[in-house]
Amino acid sequence: MAPLICMITGCTSGFGEAFVHDALSRGDKVIATGRKSETRLVHLKEAGASILELDVTASPAELDAKVKEAIAIYGHIDVLVNNAGYVQTGLIEATTQEKLMEQLDVNLFGPINMTKALLPHLRERKTGTIIFIGSLFSWYGRPNVGPYAISKHALAGFAETLNLEVSQFGIKVLHFDVGHFRTPVLAQAKSRVALKDIDDYAPMINVIAAISPSMHENQPGDPRLGIARMVDMIKGEGMAEGKEIPWRVPIGTDAVEIIKERCEETLRLIEQWKEFSRSTDFPGPKQGFWAEEEKKKASLAKQ
């Protein structure tokens, strides 16, 4: 395979930095982006990456210009890795609208606008791959992680819809539901807690506060191995060689276990409530579009 040209957001630490090193080690070319690039990305430039200052919360017009600047570096881009993000903690009732929007601007609208800026280039070339770093929190929620979970649930919906729209142009979409990996993300989240004094939640917050210190730097996932598996899928090599690549896959043992449990729970729920849920249609056979959909489902079931 010819070397890929990869544009990666959020490269100042964590997964972004690991992505850069893994791609370079495989002979690919990398455009590493982040804020304050000349100071925070200089080590990646020394490692062989091109660097570009970029804030994913910039306006769509500014991002369009940045993507054009990135394309000019090597002449084209094969892979966009939407990695930039952070964890905004806080109880739903206690999180301000301002803090919630800040979370969505980085974790959701940033990837959306970066993707839209690059899509015309990928459509013209009829090839390319768009990566989304999702989270197991797009499958379930936990107290005090609402803003982050909201952003990741929405990102998964965007990625699925995008995949259905752009696969016709030879563009691949990959969404990784990432578990807990030993990156700085939890340490960085400490400075982003958005709480007001609501006494009723004190017992819950006390439990969370007691657990939180033992989580950071004890996460089960090795970032280097997690990134290696993701790049295997992007390139169709290593542990992904010869396999049909799905648009969405969990990364990490805890992600596999939690998502499997959630799927099994959902199947049990559907089975228990299916007659209740099915009791809401108009009488008689389905018509028009809906009839055709029923035929397709019946045909697939026979295969």
The answer to whether 248 touches 175, Cβ cutoff 8 Å, is: yes
User: What pLDDT does 192 receive?
Assistant: 47
DSSP state of 132: E
At 293, is the pLDDT very low, low, confident or very high (cuts 50, 70, 90)? confident
User: What pLDDT does 186 receive?
Assistant: 62
Q: For 135-139, 157-161, 234-238, 287-291, which range has the lowest pLDDT when averaged over its residues?
A: 287-291
Helical pair 110-125 and 60-74, crossing angle rounded to 10 deg: 40
The one-letter code for the residue type at 167 is S
User: What pLDDT does 189 receive?
Assistant: 52
Catalytic residues: 148
- When the pLDDT of each residue in the chain is averaged and rounded to a whole number, the result is 91
User: What pLDDT does 190 receive?
Assistant: 42
Whole-structure pTM value: 0.91
Residue in this structure with the two tokens 């169709």, named with its chain if needed:
236
Is residue 112's pLDDT more than 90? Answer: yes
Residue in this structure with the two tokens 């600047």, named with its chain if needed:
69
Contacts of 246 (CB under 8 A, 6+ apart): none
Between CA 299 and CA 78 the distance in angstroms is: 37
The answer to whether 11 touches 34, Cβ cutoff 8 Å, is: yes
- Taking the alpha carbons of 216, 219, 223, 227 in that order, is the dihedral positive or negative? negative
130-163 confidence digits (pLDDT tens): 999 999 999 998 999 999 999 999 999 999 999 9
Domains recognised in the chain with CATH numbers:
5-251 (3.40.50.720)
262-283 confidence digits (pLDDT tens): 999 999 999 999 999 999 999 9
User: What pLDDT does 202 receive?
Assistant: 85
Between CA 104 and CA 109 the distance in angstroms is: 6
47-64 confidence digits (pLDDT tens): 999 999 999 999 999 999
The one-letter code for the residue type at 67 is V
Q: Residues of the chain with pLDDT > 90: what percent?
A: 73
Q: How distant, in Å, are the alpha carbons of 54, 122, 226, 248 from that of 245? A: 30, 19, 16, 9
User: What pLDDT does 133 receive?
Assistant: 97
Taking alpha carbons only, the member of 97, 98, 95 closest to residue 198 is: 95
